[in-house]
Chain A
Amino acid sequence: MSYHGRVEKTMEAESTGLLSHLIQTALDRVREENKFDIVMFLGIDGRIFCSSIPNLLDSAQYQLLNMVKENLPHICSQLATKNLLLSMQRYETGSMIISGVGDKAFLVFLMTSELDVANLGPIAKKVLNTSVVVHHLMELKPITIEATKSYDEEVSTELRKLSRLLFVEKFDSTRQYRKNMEVHKYLREELGQVLERGLLDEVITMAYNEVGTSAAYMNDRQWEALLGLILEEVRKLCGDVVADRCSKKWKPEVERLLQSFV
């Protein structure tokens, strides 16, 4: 996927690693924004898919977590056989909210601070919205305006934010980014042998600006154009012989890097 020219740079979960990161981010965000102590995403067979748990648990949090573990078979049975959609339980140590995510999974929210029973509306809405968000991600649906238009405004906004966060946090681990940085590094090293440092920076920066993007977002056609611009400058500054020698060496190598990168 090309990110160049996109005003809103967001990313879809194109691999299981990215999907896992996206769901983890969703759970972390709902935990931090709503002062939940623990948020877990589980399957109705009891497997924990993802969880957002603080590094250190206090006794109340530990007690609540144990309570969930003890009740897990019962909760799973309720979800699998009785189609449980939402359940809120309040104990002396805290509160437990369970919300179904589709037919085969559910979210558990644990809270040791006091739950305002008289004013449950906002928290219930947040929990249900999170279920819709996680369900959307789990079903691998695209995060586009068309795909999210049937949702509540808060849900589509949260999905867009998650998609943006995924780009910010994970773009530098994509294949496109790593390949581009490899080509950029190669060209910079090679050009550094022909031009002195000041000129090198100027030529490289101007070439990227002429192409209209930066190294991270280049595509194959833009690399070709960039190489042409750089060679043109080398020809002006160092003469035809050097430019021809560079062209013979750089063009095949850049092509090889673009095609062979894994």
Chain B
Amino acid sequence: MLDVALVSLINDLSEKAGADGVIQFWQRVGENLASRMGKEAYLGWPSFNVAVREGRTAFSIEGETVTLTDMAIMDVDGDVVGYLYALKQCVFLPTILRVRYTSGDLPRADREVAQEYNDSHHDIAICNFCVFHERFREEVAKNITVSSQPLNCLLLATRGFTGETKISTKNLQKIGINPEHVRALLRNYECVYALEMRGARLKEGD
């Protein structure tokens, strides 16, 4: 019930603080939640990936995460510095469905906030919750180390319950993955992101 109640607040928030105010609010919520998750350290990618599969990492709050080990991210020297991860189902889908069943459509402000975020920050949001989710993951990644290197999270693609998709060409360029490869992943998954070692040399001259 609490999540449905919170969603009904978005219109009020948007009217009082504007879409940009809601974005800042969600980003602060994301940062605060991530900071409460604490720090984690893993010996290497195998132990991190096992922890992801077993739901032991801070990312596990999102539900079941699929590690796409066939989509490894290589640095310029051919060493693995990250992987793609995906969620079969958006973590907010249950909330969205509950809102639809109990009070009808999502508030009008949901679209406005997502649009404002896409225009002014990063063109990846399908709904206003993506704003919170992207910042949450970025902050969680900073608190996790693999082989003593902190991680960096890049949100790559999202698919909403209406079938609308968003692909971040900006982030895909950083890791050198073709947008078409990620488009194919969206048939099976609703949210695709990359975790890579912070500071990894992905292109010569980085």
Residues of A within 8 A of B (CB): 3-9, 167-168, 171, 205-206, 208-214, 216-217, 225
- Across the two chains, which residue of chain B brings its CB closest to A212? B45
Q: How far is the CA of A43 from the CA of B175 in the complex (A)?
A: 48
| Count class of interface residues, chain B | 20 to 34
Q: How far is the CA of A211 from the CA of B149 in the complex (A)?
A: 17
- Across the two chains, which residue of chain B brings its CB closest to A214? B78
Secondary structure at the A interface, as helix, strand, loop or mixed, is helix
Interface assignment of B197: CB less than 8 Å from any CB of chain A: yes
Secondary structure at the B interface, as helix, strand, loop or mixed, is mixed
Mark the stretch among B3-11, B25-33, B69-77 that contacts chain A: B69-77
**Cβ-defined contact, B72 with A209, below 8 A:** yes
**Cβ-defined contact, A7 with B81, below 8 A:** yes
**Cβ-defined contact, A5 with B46, below 8 A:** no
- Evaluate whether A7 and B46 lie within 8 angstroms (CB atoms) in the complex, with A210-B69, A216-B78 already known: no
- List chain A residues, Cβ under 8 A from B79: 3-5, 9, 213-214, 216-217
- Across the two chains, which residue of chain B brings its CB closest to A171? B77
- Evaluate whether A212 and B44 lie within 8 angstroms (CB atoms) in the complex, with A7-B81, A206-B70 already known: yes
Q: How far is the CA of A212 from the CA of B45 in the complex (A)?
A: 5
Which one of B69, B147, B198, B200 lies within 8 Å of A206 (CB-CB)? B69
* Residue from B69, B70, B198 having most chain A Cβ neighbours under 10 A: B69
**Cβ-defined contact, B77 with A9, below 8 A:** yes
Interface assignment of B201: CB less than 8 Å from any CB of chain A: yes
Q: How far is the CA of A82 from the CA of B173 in the complex (A)?
A: 58
- List chain B residues, Cβ under 8 A from A3: 77, 79
- Evaluate whether A5 and B149 lie within 8 angstroms (CB atoms) in the complex, with A206-B69, A214-B79 already known: yes
Q: How far is the CA of A171 from the CA of B70 in the complex (A)?
A: 26
Distance in Å from the Cβ of B86 to the closest Cβ of chain A?
Answer: 15
- Across the two chains, which residue of chain A brings its CB closest to B81? A7
